[in-house]
Structure 1
Amino acid sequence: MNTPEITVVIPVYNEEDGLQVLFDRLYPALDQLGPSYEIIFVNDGSRDRSAAILREQYQRRPDVTRAILLAANAGQHMAIMAAFENARGQIIVTLDADLQNPPEEIGKLISKMREGYDYVGSIRRQRRDNLFRNWASKAMNRLRERTTRIRITDQGNMLRAYSRSVVNAINSCREVSTFIPALAYTFARNPTEVVVEHEERALGESKYSLYSLIRLNFDLMTAFSLVPLQWFSMLGIVVSMGSAALFVLLIVRRILLGPEAEGLFTLFALAFFLIGLALFGIGLLGEYVGRVYLQVRHRPRYLIEAVLEQQE
């Protein structure tokens, strides 16, 4: 197989209902661009017929289609890493399988890459998500930017283009848990962003629950910054100084006004607050220790069951 100019990477997890619609739009959109391309689908341990559908699509278009079948669910970003390590193109584009990012928008990113940028992110023009999800996403974006100094306007949008040099740098990392857009941003010398259209999910349901989104953002902040630990250390100093000041105040009050009979529930509330603060700090520290534990075990990040591709 000749080396293509463009590689499109699409992780797939339980998307059997929408895959045919994706095929019907993706291939014509790439054919119209002109340059040679390949599409790498990564089945991330789907429990439905997604793997079988990908096999059928590979048989229809073996010249431009490749499929990596993972033995178990490894998560979206690890699925993308599996594709990055097998991608041949000079420009690598990631795209979700749910069609919320139209495949027709890929051309915008390719044009921007040809202007000399090595990493092109995308910003959804008008998000088709509910109000709570939009608000939560903006809030987490601001918090993430303050803690990691990584400036990604729309971190939840996976329609992004990467140069070969950036992907090579990503492949050199052996992290067991990461956030690919942020990792790419740290390696890019000339990043930029473009505005793209956004559509409602064609078929199926979102694979990201509220818990998953919170977990993803927590992973992002702890993977790229020590600021949460530093913030907690500063908070501990402030609470300690406040506690010392309160102790002095109580001693002075006892000397001037005598012993205090009331205030028991206030002390309970203060004790519960400090206990909660301590538990939160232990959990935050445990998060960092847990990441170290996962890393030092050196277990494989994903297991490949099969690779469907046309041999030279």
Structure 2
Amino acid sequence: MLSVVIPVYNEEDGLAALFDRLYPALDALGLRYEVIFINDGSRDRSPGILAEQFKRRPDVTRVILFNGNFGQHRAILAGFAHCRGERIVTLDADLQNPPEDIATLLAKMDEGHDYVGSIRRMRQDAAWRRWASKAMNGLRAKLTRINITDQGCMLRAYSRDIVSLINQCGEMNTFIPALAYQFARNPAEVVVGHEERFAGESKYSLYSLIRLNFDLVTSFSVVPLQWFSLLGMAISAGAGLLVLLLLGRRLIIGPEEGGLFTLFAIAFFLIGLALFGIGLIGEYVGRIYSEVRQRPRYVISTVLEQRE
């Protein structure tokens, strides 16, 4: 009835604590469930710890081992491809989202919602991450029609229909919560807890977060290209008016000296704008290039599971 999908990357120090809280919380639900761990190319003892946990609870535990690091969202996609539950919950392995809140998401689904997102209560992240997240939430809301209050929280619940539709998508780079929101007929959100990491540190650097948000924006909207086109049209019109103004001054006042640095400033501004536009187009072209190569999104080396 329930599948819990958990991507794991270098989490050896916190896995024991995760097991101690996760399984009792799921047992208390009184449902048939499975937990799917996806090891995303960890370089520490995480694969061995997951294998030991599979031996302890083979009836409800499945482990997918990647042969490299493919990223959190591709790990979740692998979990979606292998899960068997009617309801699927995604959860990070760092214990920042309490496993006990899974019951809150399922209770919301009982009200008839096919996708339930989450909003972190009193986030325990650094100030710069909270500010950056808020800024990107606002930008994403303007660029797309996806209304997700807290896009960075991966504690989310999906119906089997939503996961089946996601599995039909063959995109190399995507953002799963936004994709699910587009497919959902009756989405909802709930407030969940947020704690400090039990051990280790975040695997997302500033660069990784920027890349993730590029995936979100470029995968679900062409508005940036449209805005840039409008900006180019406005600048062209302004440049035409400036030419007419300078021509009129030349005819009325005659030759003038000065204004060299102003022209330099305008030229540098236009050059920077052109480079920004080339980079923006490059982001879209790069994603097209990734898609047309049709390489596998991930490579699985081993699956540990108890076959029925």
Shorter-chain TM range is over 0.9
CA apart distance, 1:258: 2.1
Runs of 4+ in 1 over 3 A off after TM superposition: none
TM-score normalised by the chain length of structure 2: 0.99
Residue identity (%): 71
The corresponding residue for 1:11 is: 7
Q: Is 1:232 matched up with 2:222?
A: no
Q: Is 1:84 matched up with 2:80?
A: yes
2:303 to 279, 288, 307: 307
1:140 to 113, 136, 143: 136
Aligned letter for 2:55?
Q
Distance between the aligned counterparts of 1:175 and 1:26, measured in 2? 31
Distance between the aligned counterparts of 2:239 and 2:94, measured in 1? 52
Q: Is 1:186 matched up with 2:177?
A: no
The corresponding residue for 2:106 is: 110
The corresponding residue for 2:37 is: 41
Distance between the aligned counterparts of 2:98 and 2:229, measured in 1? 45
Aligned letter for 2:181?
Y
Residues 57-96 of structure 1 aligned to structure 2 (within 5 Å): 57-96=53-92
CA apart distance, 1:134: 1.1
Aligned letter for 1:256?
I
Structure 1 residues 208-254: Cα deviation after superposition (integer angstroms, max 9, x where no partner) = 11111111111100000110100000010011111111111111122
Stretches of structure 1 that go unaligned for 5 or more consecutive residues are: none
Distance between the aligned counterparts of 1:83 and 1:41, measured in 2? 8
CA RMSD of aligned residues (A): 0.7
CA apart distance, 1:260: 2.4
1:252 to 225, 244, 248: 248
Aligned letter for 1:86?
H
Residues 133-212 of structure 1 aligned to structure 2 (within 5 Å): 133-212=129-208
SS of residue in 1 equivalent to 2:82: coil
Residues 22-41 of structure 1 aligned to structure 2 (within 5 Å): 22-41=18-37
TM-score normalised by the chain length of structure 1: 0.97
Aligned residue-pair number: 308
Stretches of structure 2 that go unaligned for 5 or more consecutive residues are: none
